[in-house]
Amino acid sequence: MEIAGKLTNQQLVVTGGSEGIGRAYAFELASHGMNVIILSRSKDKLERTAKEIEEETGKRVKVLVADFSRDDVYREIEDNLKDLEIGVLVNNVGILPSMIPSKFLETKNLNQTMTDVINCNMRAMAEMCRICLPGMEKRGKGVIVNLSSGVATIPCPLYSLYSASKVFVERFSLCLQAEYSAKGIIIQYLKAGGKIHGSVGHTFMGWLLQSLPSGILHSEAMQEGFIAYVKKLSQVQLLNQVGSYSLFPLGFSTLKLCRKVFCE
């Protein structure tokens, strides 16, 4: 393919790249010629994913262990990436405080949870952009993909921290696109949920948010019923079943951006 040759010397950086959507991105873009750097906090999962990608695509994969809930990880990341030509950054890392929904004050370990959500879902994206954008700006090309969620569509009670953090992803992405589009850099956010499927939880939440009027969604009765429903799902382990994430149309959209940036 035309795009494969153009991407051969480009580096792909994926946070949360050892599983789920991040893993699927790493596989997909490696198959189109990119060398891959994946980051997450689990060394075992990273190494397993790296081996699978290398065996299937023949591309080199570098792993960086990084716990994005911590404040002290970015100097090491920056040292490892500073001399690389990073063409694509996928900010995928994020945490859901609890799969079982709860009101804000009923969140377990609330103080630590607030710090973890802000660090993983918001600060990590901003820091990785800070690290990777200067090289893209200097070269006059680059693609940044920030993963949002269907719960950012409307105010989502019971997932207040997570929902609000994903709104930040969208606003930050739109602002950066306005600031750097003239530099040849494309920055987009994508929502998991709705038409982008993967886990049962994402699929269900995407359908729910697009189907129900906000007055019903925000009612006390609806909230209590939703908590009971999710607890029931968790008991039969449906929410722990992570699908084999398909990157169509999500990945196809990103490949179109890569073709525009690196091939035209």
Catalytic residues: 162
Q: How far is CA 255 from CA 42, 77, 144, 194, 232, in A?
A: 27, 25, 12, 20, 38
Provide the token pair at 179.
Answer: 């600031």
Q: Where are the alpha helices (DSSP H) in 65-199?
A: 74-81, 110-117, 124-139, 160-180
Sign of CA dihedral 138, 72, 37, 22: negative
How buried is residue 205: exposed, middle or buried, by Cβ count under 10 Å (0-12/13-18/19+)? Answer: buried
> Which residues neighbour 40 within 8 Å (Cβ) at sequence distance 6 or greater?
15, 16, 17, 18, 19, 22, 46, 65, 66, 93
Q: Which phi and psi angles does 145 have, rounded to 5°?
A: -120, 120
Say which amino acid occupies 173.
S
Cα(63)–Cα(123) distance, rounded to whole angstroms?
A: 21
